[in-house]
Amino acid sequence: MRKLNAKYQKLITLIARLTVGGVLLVAGALKAFVPAEAASAVAAYKILPVKIAHIFGYGLPWLEIAIGLLLIAGLSIRLAGVVAGTVMVLFIGAIISVWARGILIDCGCFGGGGAIDPSKAAQVHRTYALEIARDAGLALLTLYLYFFPYGFLSFEKSAEPTKEN
């Protein structure tokens, strides 16, 4: 396992960076220019007071874009990865929270958002599970990036030769 990791680490790191960075960049870009929609999507979780939720909804897409770009370019990977991972954990928490409270919403992850008809409850619950799985997967990738931030096509380079890993 360790050997295998040593052999492919640079590639795995690149894939992890592009996956997490790409998802964040796309998610952020889809929301950044429809601020009203993004703001009400956050408010629909009914976790934060409405005013604070709106501000959060305005800022979150831009944070996603910034972190996404850093990861794709390979700058401050460890820091960007930690922020991305934290954001993913928060998303998971938020979805579990709405699920537990029986609220039916579109997560608004890639734009959209808001309440969903109760008749679609089963479908929404399945979507929640998939979203949690997706975010958990992305969080694991950021964890990998914490330990192995330096790989192919990156502005930042490692001090050690690759073989030492």
d(CA 22, CA 30): 12
Copy the structure tokens of residue 135.
């975010």
Is residue 55 a contact residue for other proteins (CB under 8 A)? yes
Applying CB under 8 A, among 15, 29, 76, 106 the residue interacting with other proteins is 76
Applying CB under 8 A, among 7, 51, 120, 126 the residue interacting with other proteins is 51
d(CA 89, CA 17): 17
From 11, 2, 3, 22, select the one nearest 151 (Cα to Cα): 11
φ/ψ of 131, rounded to 5, equals -65, -40
Q: Are strands 114-115 and 105-106 parallel, antiparallel or unpaired?
A: antiparallel
Q: Which of residues 23-42 bind other proteins (CB under 8 A)?
A: 32, 35-40
- With respect to other proteins, which residue has the nearer C-beta, 79 or 96? 79
| Amino acid in the structure at residue 151 | G
Site map for other proteins, 85-124, x if CB under 8 A? Answer: ----------------------------------------
- With respect to other proteins, which residue has the nearer C-beta, 19 or 40? 40
Site map for other proteins, 124-153, x if CB under 8 A? Answer: ----------------------xxxxx---
Length reported for the chain: 165
How many angstroms separate the Cα of 117 from the Cα of each of 56, 91, 100, 128?
Answer: 25, 22, 17, 15
Applying CB under 8 A, among 47, 66, 116, 140 the residue interacting with other proteins is 66
Query: Binding residues for other proteins, per CB under 8 A?
Result: 32, 35-40, 43, 50-51, 54-55, 58-59, 61-63, 65-67, 70, 75-76, 79-80, 83, 146-150, 156-160, 165
